[in-house]
Structure 1
Amino acid sequence: MDAWPMQKQLYGLFPECRIIAATKFGFKVMPALAVLTVAVQLHFMGTSQLPHALTLGIFFLSLPVQGLIWLGFRSQKILPPAIKAWYQDIYLKMQQQGCALEQPKSQPRFHELALLLRTAFSELDKAFTKHLF
């Protein structure tokens, strides 16, 4: 989650930006929503609904965790051919600009793409990154 650059140019291309934003929002909101849901159900329906109330509370607490799990699995997936070609193109352009980069992987994953994009947005000027997209 920390490796992926949160840039507006990437929002339309990759779902990671939206998932990261939703996960961060979920970590802020879901604990309070879970407690509120359990408290309201117990107040209005009594302790007979305790299992149902706890189930809903646990569901709300699990939503941001599901986002983290999805991001973890996605970061380990090998890039599809079209994105792999784009990764290699960005790598070559950055190398021509004089960026110090690690050797490219033969089978890059989404995590390597995230690190490359983060480097591109942090070290290169806006005019260059505008042409990447």
Structure 2
Amino acid sequence: MNNTGNVNWFGVLKRGQHYMNTWPDDKRLSPVFPEHRVGKAIRFGIRFMPPVSVFTLCWQIALHAQTGPAVASALFACSLPIQGLWWMGKRAMKPLPPTLLQWYHSVRTKLEQAGQPTAIPEGEPTYQSLADLLKRAFRQLDKTFLDDL
């Protein structure tokens, strides 16, 4: 899962979608991780950008604007959620930096002490590994595990 070299474009988007859905929806993580805000922006964009782009395209055509820039702006508006999913997919595959790696192992230890064994990820833990661990910790631990963050 940590093989970043052989992932195609759609694979990155799929990983981004999975990472966005796995990341815990808790605002207390927002000061350290942008995933909560980026995920909200992506969900907003997926829901509202297609109608907004169709509206602006129709509006510009109705006002007899040039078609090229109208189509380009509509395509750009529709691409914003895709750009967010791309960022999330690349982030999911990225190895954790040393400070987060230490915190990752701390949370993992707390889960094991609570009687919840966790699988050791193959290779270096990634942001996806962290998301999986945090999702599980939010379900099975009290919220004090965030105090070390």
Q: Normalized against structure 1, the TM-score is what?
A: 0.91
Residue of structure 2 aligned with 1:43, choices 51, 55, 62 = 62
| 1:58-77 matched pairs, under 5 angstroms | 58-77=75-94
How far is the alpha carbon of 1:105 from its aligned partner? Answer: 4.8
Gaps of 5+ in 2: 1-19
How far is the alpha carbon of 1:130 from its aligned partner? Answer: 4.7
Deviations 1:23-47 (A, max 9, x none): 000001101110011011001125x
- 1:78 maps to which residue? 95
Q: In the alignment, does 2:21 pair up with 1:2?
A: yes
| 1:1-133 matched pairs, under 5 angstroms | 1-46=20-65, 49-126=66-143, 128-133=144-149
Gaps of 5+ in 1: none
Secondary structure at 2:22 match in 1: coil
Distance 1:117 1:91, change over 3 A: same
Please say which structure displays the higher CA radius of gyration.
Answer: 1
Secondary structure at 1:38 match in 2: helix
Cα distance in 2 between the residues matched to 1:32 and 1:103: 44
Q: Percent identity?
A: 38
CA RMSD of aligned residues (A): 1.4
Q: Normalized against structure 2, the TM-score is what?
A: 0.82
Distance 1:2 1:110, change over 3 A: same
Pairs aligned (count): 130
Contact persistence 1:91–1:104 (CA under 8 A):
no
